[in-house]
Amino acid sequence: MDKKLITGLILAGGRGSRMGNVDKGLQPFRGKPMAQHAIERLLPQVGSVMVNANRNLERWLELAAPVWADETPGFAGPLAGLEAGLRHCVTPWLLAVPCDSPFLPPDLAERLGAAVEQADADLAFAVTREPGMRPQPHPVFCLVKTSRLPVLSRYLAEGGRRMDGWYADLKAVEVLFEDADAFRNINTLDELQVLDASLPPTLANVVSCLSGYDPDALPVRDAQRIIREFVQPVRAVEQVALRAALGRVLARDVISPIDVPAHDNSAMDGFALRGSDLRGDAPVTLRVIGTTYAGNASGLVPAAGECVRIMTGGVMPEGCDSVVPQEFVTQEGDTITLPAGVIRAGDNRRFAGEDLKAGSPALKAGRVVRPPDLGMLASLGIPEVAVQRRLRVAFFSTGDELRSVGEPLGEGCVYDSNRYTIYGMLQRLGVDVIDMGVVRDDPQALEEALRSACENADAIITSGGVSVGAADYTKQIMAKLGDVTFWKIGMRPGRPLAFGRIQSNGRSAFLFGLPGNPVAVMVSFYFFAREALLRLNGADAPLPLLRARSSGAIRKKLGRTEYQRGILAPGADGHPEVRITGSQGSGILRSMSEANCMVVLHDEQGNVAAGDMVDVLVFEGLM
Task: Answer for the pair 539, 510: CB distance below 8 angstroms, yes or no.
Answer: no
Judged by beta carbon distances under 5 to 8 A according to partner kind, the member of Mg ion, ligand AMP, none in contact with residue 517 is ligand AMP
Task: Name the residue nearer to ligand AMP (CB basis): 260 or 520.
Answer: 520
By Cβ distance, which residue is nearest to ligand AMP?
A: 516
Binding mask 365-404 for ligand AMP (x = CB under 6 A): --------------------------------x-x-xx--
Rounded CA-CA distance 246/439 in Å is 35
DSSP three-state, residue 560: coil
Task: Name the residue nearer to ligand AMP (CB basis): 151 or 522.
Answer: 522
Look at residues 210, 193, 343 and name the one whose alpha carbon lies nearest to residue 271: 343
Of residues 497-536, those binding ligand AMP (CB under 6 A)? 515-518
Task: Name the residue nearer to ligand AMP (CB basis): 152 or 491.
Answer: 491
Judged by beta carbon distances under 5 to 8 A according to partner kind, the member of ligand AMP, Mg ion, none in contact with residue 72 is none
Q: How far is the CB of 463 from ligand AMP (least distance, A)?
A: 5
Look at residues 1, 101, 124, 112 and name the one whose alpha carbon lies nearest to residue 41: 101
Task: Name the residue nearer to ligand AMP (CB basis): 323 or 497.
Answer: 497
Judged by beta carbon distances under 5 to 8 A according to partner kind, the member of ligand AMP, Mg ion, none in contact with residue 414 is ligand AMP
Q: How far is the CB of 523 from Mg ion (least distance, A)?
A: 18
Task: Name the residue nearer to Mg ion (CB basis): 265 or 421.
Answer: 421
How many C-beta neighbours within 10 Å does residue 239 have?
11
Of residues 389-448, those binding Mg ion (CB under 5 A)? 399
Rounded CA-CA distance 339/285 in Å is 9
Look at residues 173, 27, 167, 200 and name the one whose alpha carbon lies nearest to residue 100: 27
- The upper half-sphere exposure of residue 300, i.e. CA atoms within 13 Å in the direction of its Cβ, equals 25
State in Å, rounded, how far the first CA of the chain is from the last one: 58
How many C-beta neighbours within 10 Å does residue 612 have?
13
- Per the annotation, does 70 bind a ligand? yes
Task: Name the residue nearer to ligand AMP (CB basis): 378 or 414.
Answer: 414
- Per the annotation, does 52 bind a ligand? yes
Task: Name the residue nearer to Mg ion (CB basis): 102 or 465.
Answer: 465
DSSP three-state, residue 363: strand
Which residue type sits at 63? L
Look at residues 370, 379, 374 and name the one whose alpha carbon lies nearest to residue 313: 379
Of residues 463-502, those binding ligand AMP (CB under 6 A)? 463-465, 467, 469, 472
Q: How far is the CB of 485 from Mg ion (least distance, A)?
A: 19
**If binding is defined by CB under 5 A, does position 515 make contact with Mg ion?**
no
Rounded CA-CA distance 16/26 in Å is 11
Which residue type sits at 581? T
Look at residues 511, 507, 466 and name the one whose alpha carbon lies nearest to residue 484: 511
**If binding is defined by CB under 6 A, does position 54 make contact with ligand AMP?**
no
Task: Name the residue nearer to ligand AMP (CB basis): 70 or 441.
Answer: 441
Rounded CA-CA distance 121/142 in Å is 12
Which residue type sits at 137? P
Q: Which of 222, 416, 562, 577 binds ligand AMP (CB under 6 A)?
A: 416
Whether the CA torsion 279, 281, 285, 290 is positive or negative: it is positive
Q: How far is the CB of 520 from ligand AMP (least distance, A)?
A: 8
Which residue type sits at 197? A
Q: At what angle do helices 78-88 and 149-157 cross, to 10 degrees?
A: 140
Size of site (CB under 5 A) for Mg ion: 3
Q: What is the DSSP string of 3-37?
A: GGGEEEEEEE-S--GGGTSS-GGGSEETTEEHHHH
**Residue 97 burial by CB count (10 A; 0-12/13-18/19+): exposed, middle or buried?**
buried
Q: Which of 465, 490, 518, 538 binds Mg ion (CB under 5 A)?
A: 465
Task: Answer for the pair 198, 233: CB distance below 8 angstroms, yes or no.
Answer: no
Of residues 417-446, those binding ligand AMP (CB under 6 A)? 417-419
Binding segment toward ligand AMP, per CB under 6 A, in 230-238, 270-278, 413-421, 605-613: 413-421
Size of site (CB under 6 A) for ligand AMP: 19
Task: Name the residue nearer to Mg ion (CB basis): 399 or 513.
Answer: 399
- Per the annotation, does 277 bind a ligand? no
- Per the annotation, does 24 bind a ligand? yes
Rounded CA-CA distance 378/245 in Å is 12
Task: Name the residue nearer to ligand AMP (CB basis): 25 or 516.
Answer: 516
**If binding is defined by CB under 5 A, does position 464 make contact with Mg ion?**
yes
Residues that bind ligand AMP (CB under 6 A): 397, 399, 401-402, 414, 416-419, 463-465, 467, 469, 472, 515-518
Q: Which residues are annotated as a binding site for GTP?
A: 11-13, 24, 52, 70, 100
Q: Which residues are annotated as a binding site for Mg(2+)?
A: 100
Residues that bind Mg ion (CB under 5 A): 399, 464-465
